[in-house]
Amino acid sequence: MQKISRRGFIQSSLVLSVGAHPLSALAKGLGKRKLLLVGTQTGGKSTSHGIYAYAFDSATGDLEQIGLAAESSSPTFFVLAPDKRFVYAVSEVRQFEGKPGGAVSSFAFDRKNEKLTLVNASSSLGGGPTHITVDHTGHCVFVANYGGGSVASFLANDQGHLSPSVSFFQYKADKEKNERGSHAHHVTVSPDNRFLLVNDLGLDRIHIYRLDATTATITPNDPPMWRSGEGYGPRVLAFHPNGKWAYCVNELKPTVNVLNWDSERGALTTVQDISLVPEGYKGDAAPGDIVFDKQARFAYVTSRLDDFMATFAMSPKDGTLTAINHTSCGGKRPRHLALDPSERWLLVANQDTNNISVFARDQGTGHLADSGKSFPLGSPMCLVFA
């Protein structure tokens, strides 16, 4: 079984910049290019300092760095609110305000002047916050604490100000069942905004909660969880656009589970268990993230340690996957990937080689081609087109 390891290093304390970084040059020069925000790991050997802004040209696949949009300690994952007025980010640090644990921060997103300004920050109540999401109303924010093995919810007001934690659940392993320690890795809101699902990589399960969107309160559902195979390590979850199926990427056993979603009961059932690695492959693999096109014809999954991407065709009848091919990720330790708005290009954040790779995408076949385009950035972790 592979050892569960979140980071080679984590910055010891949180430092937030209260100053905004105006991106007036971007406002004047963006043209038809699309705005891309990139979260990074900071401290240690990393040369990055927070969230960066880029202009992406969908005609050529070129990426131009505009500048530092917000200075922050290890904003390794962030999410844009539905109305695009705010950005909510984790700070994957060991201490916040002198106490153990990471933080979750809110930034106002001024699209006219293209800048991020800190609103406030709150304790994530657990170490190593690794993923954050916001519900469909834009007022409920959720964070998964990987190191702390916990989940917390927060209420955001109309000004983007985050409350202290509203709900908090600490997970524990059952030693009698020889369970590994909890590592909450991903938080997902159901398509109808009635449930929150929490991938627990350490306990081989997805915790399921009912969500009260007026208060950001979550309560255990019945059934309270879905279980993966033993030792699978469910890392990431993504819902199909039709809201009927979900895809769980497993880190420790490199597979993807296709799941049926019962929206009335809040229950997941396994439909398919498909290997991520090619037949006969004996090396290491550690799947990372998944993305699919808007029509849900093709899915792309990153894998670290072996540093490749897998391309799958998606069945319109039952959502099952069929492997197409495997390609290089253009670097080492791919953390996150994103399709640009035109869906002609796939971008990959490669943490260890400090670069963002761009791949040309055939929209008819789903095939990826190395464009030869690679753009330097220290420890890129999260890619969000704004």
Three-state SS for 121-170 is EEECCCCCEEEEEECCCCCEEEEEECCCCEEEEEEECCCCCECCCCEEEE
Question: Would you call the peptide bond into 223 cis, given omega within 30 degrees of 0 as the criterion?
Answer: yes
pLDDT in tens, 193-213: 999 999 999 999 999 999 999
Domain total of the chain:
1
- In this model, does residue 256 exceed pLDDT 60? yes
Q: Tell me the pLDDT band of 11, cut-offs 50, 70 and 90.
A: very low
pLDDT in tens, 302-354: 999 999 999 999 999 999 999 999 999 999 999 999 999 999 999 999 999 99
Residue 338 belongs to some domain of the structure: yes
- In this model, does residue 172 exceed pLDDT 90? yes
* Tokens matching residue 268: 């997941």
Rounded distance between C-alpha atoms, residue 364 and residue 85, angstroms: 34
Closest to 238 measured CA to CA, from 311, 174, 283, 291: 291
- In this model, does residue 5 exceed pLDDT 60? no
Residue 207 belongs to some domain of the structure: no
- In this model, does residue 279 exceed pLDDT 90? no
Domain range for 381 is 34-71+329-386
Residue 283 belongs to some domain of the structure: no
Residue 160 belongs to some domain of the structure: no
Tell me the percentage of the chain whose pLDDT exceeds 90.
84
Residue 335 belongs to some domain of the structure: yes
Rounded distance between C-alpha atoms, residue 352 and residue 44, angstroms: 13
Q: Are 127 and 148 in contact (CB under 8 A)?
A: yes
pTM of the shown model: 0.93
**Sole residue written with tokens 């930034």:** 107
Residue 182: DSSP 8-state: P
Mean pLDDT for 12-22 is: 49
Kindly give the residue spans of alpha helices, DSSP state H, lying in the chain: 24-29
Question: What are 342-345's contacts with CB under 8 Å, separation 24+?
Answer: 342/58, 343/293, 343/294, 344/58, 344/61, 345/56, 345/58, 345/61, 345/371
Rounded distance between C-alpha atoms, residue 177 and residue 204, angstroms: 12
Q: Tell me the pLDDT band of 177, cut-offs 50, 70 and 90.
A: confident
Rounded distance between C-alpha atoms, residue 383 and residue 81, angstroms: 15
Residue 356 belongs to some domain of the structure: yes
Residue 350 belongs to some domain of the structure: yes
For the ranges 31-40, 101-110, 173-182, 344-353, the lowest mean pLDDT is seen at 173-182
Residue 61 belongs to some domain of the structure: yes
Q: What are the angstrom distances between the C-alpha of 348 and each of 75, 104, 120?
A: 17, 24, 30
